[in-house]
Chain A
Amino acid sequence: MKWIEIMSDILTYGIFIYSIVLLLFYIFIGIYAIGATRRYIHKNSFANYRVLVSSSYVPAVSIIAPAYNEGAGIIANVRSLLSTYYSNIEVIIVNDGSKDDSLQKLIHAYQLEKVDFLVYAQIPTKAVRGIYKSTNAVYKKLIVVDKENGGKADALNVGINIATHDYVVCIDVDCILEQDAILKMIKPFLEETDTRVIAAGGVVRVANSCIVEDGKLVKVRLPQAYLPRIQALEYIRAFLLGRMAWARLNGLLLISGAFGAFDKEVVIKCGGYNTNTVGEDMELVVRMRRYMEDHHQKYKIIYIPDPLCWTEVPSNYSILGRQRNRWMRGTIETLMAHKKLFFNPKYGYLGMLSYPYWFFFEMLAPIIEFFGVIAFFILTFLGLVTWKIFIALLLFIIFFGYVYSTFAILMEVVTYNQYKHKKDIANLFLAMLIEPFMFHSFGVWCSMKGFVDLIRKKKEWGAMKRQGFDGAKH
Chain B
Amino acid sequence: MVTIVFTILILLLLGSVYLYLYKKKRNFFSNKNIQQKFEEWVSRFLLESIATENPTLIIPPYLKKQFKRRAKKQAAINILVQTKRDLAGMGTKGITNIYEQLGFKQFSINKLKHSFWHIKAKGIQELYIMDQSDMLGTMYRYTNSSNKYVRKEAQTAIIHFLGFNGLHFLNVLSKPISDWEQINLMEQLKQFPFTPIKHLETWLQSRNHTVVLFTLKLIATYQQFQTYQAVAHCLKHTHEKVRIQAVKTLISINDEGTANILVHQYPKETLANKINIIEQLAFIALHTQQQFFFNCLQEEQPILKLAAAKVLEQQGINISKLLQGKDAAMKQHFYTHKKTDMPI
| Minimal Cβ-Cβ distance residue in A for B175 | A193
Min C-beta distance of A353 to chain B, whole Å: 27
Closest B-chain residue to A265, C-beta based? Answer: B272
A410 and B6 contacting across the interface, CB-CB below 8 Å: no
Q: Evaluate whether A45 and B118 lie within 8 angstroms (CB atoms) in the complex, with A51-B187, A400-B6, A413-B17 already known.
A: yes
A120 touches B182 (CB 8 A): no
**Cβ–Cβ < 8 Å partners of A162 in chain B:** 335
Output the nearest chain A residue to B117 by Cβ-Cβ distance.
A42
A410-425 Cβ-contact flags toward B at 8 Å (1 or 0): 1001100100000001
Query: Which residue from chain B places its CB closest to the CB of A158 in the assembled complex?
Result: B335
Most interface-central of A113, A127, A129, A406 (chain B CB within 10 A): A406
| Stretch from A9-17, A52-60, A338-346 contacting the other chain | A52-60
From A121, A191, A396, B335 is in contact (CB under 8 Å) with A121
Known A58-B183, A117-B335: A107·B344 in contact at CB below 8 Å: yes
- Asked whether B339 lies within 8 Å of A114 as measured between CB atoms, the reply is yes
Minimum CB–CB distance for B118 against chain A, Å? 4
Which A residues are CB-close (under 8 A) to B334?
Answer: 118-121
Bound: A121/B313 CA distance, A: 18
**B21 close to A (CB within 8 Å):** yes
Contact across chains for A399 and B176 when beta carbons are under 8 A apart: no
Q: Tell whether A42 pairs with B187 under 8 Å between CB atoms, given A117-B337, A128-B335.
A: no
B18–A120 contact, CB under 8 A? no
A304 to B344, CA, bound (A): 42
Contact indicator A57/B303 (Cβ below 8 Å): no
Query: Chain A 388-418, CB within 8 Å of chain B: the 1/0 string?
Result: 0000100110011011001101100110010
Query: Do residues B339 and A191 form an inter-chain contact, with CB atoms below 8 A?
Result: no
Which of A48, A121, A128 is B333 in contact with, Cβ under 8 Å? A121
Q: Identify the stretch in B8-16, B91-99, B225-233 within 8 Å (CB) of chain A at 4 or more residues.
A: B8-16
- Per the bound structure, the CA–CA distance linking A98 and B303 in Å amounts to 30
B288 at the A/B interface (Cβ < 8 Å)? Answer: no
Q: How far is the CB of B284 from chain A (nearest CB, A)?
A: 20
A116 CB-CB contact with B under 8 Å = yes
Asked if A118 and B183 make an inter-chain contact with CB atoms under 8 angstroms apart, the answer reads no
- Is A7 an interface residue when CB atoms closer than 8 A count as contact? no
Interface residues of A in 426-444 (CB under 8 A from B): 429
**Whole-angstrom CA separation of A139 from B272 in the bound complex:** 30
Q: How far is the CB of A140 from chain B (nearest CB, A)?
A: 17
Interface residues as binary, B4-37 with A (CB distance below 8 Å gives 1, 0 otherwise): 0011011001101110110010000000000000
Question: What's the Cα separation between A173 and B106 when bound, in Å?
Answer: 50
Which residues in A have their C-beta under 8 angstroms from that of B149?
43, 46
* A403 CA to B7 CA, complexed, in Å: 8
B302 sits at the interface (CB 8 A): yes
CB 8 Å contact bits of B299-321 with A (1 = contact, 0 = none): 00011011001100100000010
* Neighbouring B residues of A103 by C-beta, 8 Å: 344
The residue from B309, B333, B337 contacting A130, defined by CB atoms under 8 A apart:
B337
In the complex, what distance in Å separates the CA atom of A219 from the CA atom of B109?
40
Partner of B176, one of A129, A193, A406: A193
Shortest Cβ distance from residue B216 to the other chain A in the assembled complex, whole angstroms: 13
The 8 Å CB contact of B18, one of A116, A193, A403, A425, is: A425
Instruction: Tell whether, in the assembled complex, residue A46 and residue B313 are in contact, meaning their CB atoms are under 8 Å apart.
Output: no
B339 contacts A113, CB within 8 Å? yes
Asked if B179 is at the interface of the complex by the 8 Å CB criterion, the answer is yes
Scan residues 41-74 of chain A and give those whose CB is less than 8 A from a CB of chain B: 42-43, 45-46, 48, 50-52, 55, 57-59
Measured in the bound complex, the distance between the Cα atoms of B342 and A103 in whole Å is 15
- The yes or no answer to B43 lying at the interface (CB within 8 A) is no
Which chain A residues numbered 183 to 220 have a C-beta less than 8 Å away from chain B?
Answer: 187, 189-194
The smallest C-beta distance from A237 to any residue of chain B, in angstroms, reads: 13
A395-B17 contact given A55-B187, A161-B335, CB 8 Å threshold: no
Q: At the interface, yes or no: A1 with Cβ under 8 Å from chain B?
A: no
Asked, given contacts A114-B344, A192-B178, whether A403 binds B337 with beta carbons under 8 Å apart, the answer is no
A residues less than 8 Å from B332 (CB atoms): 121
Q: Can you give 15 A-B contacts (C-beta < 8 A)?
A: A42-B118, A57-B182, A113-B339, A114-B339, A119-B335, A187-B180, A191-B148, A392-B3, A399-B7, A400-B6, A402-B10, A406-B17, A409-B17, A410-B16, A413-B17
Given contacts A51-B183, A425-B18, 9 further A-B contacts (CB under 8 A): A42-B117, A45-B122, A116-B320, A130-B344, A131-B337, A395-B2, A403-B10, A406-B10, A410-B20
Chain A interfacial positions (CB closer than 8 Å to B): 42-43, 45-46, 48, 50-52, 55, 57-59, 103, 107, 113-122, 127-131, 161-162, 187, 189-194, 265, 392, 395-396, 399-400, 402-403, 406-407, 409-410, 413-414, 417, 425, 429
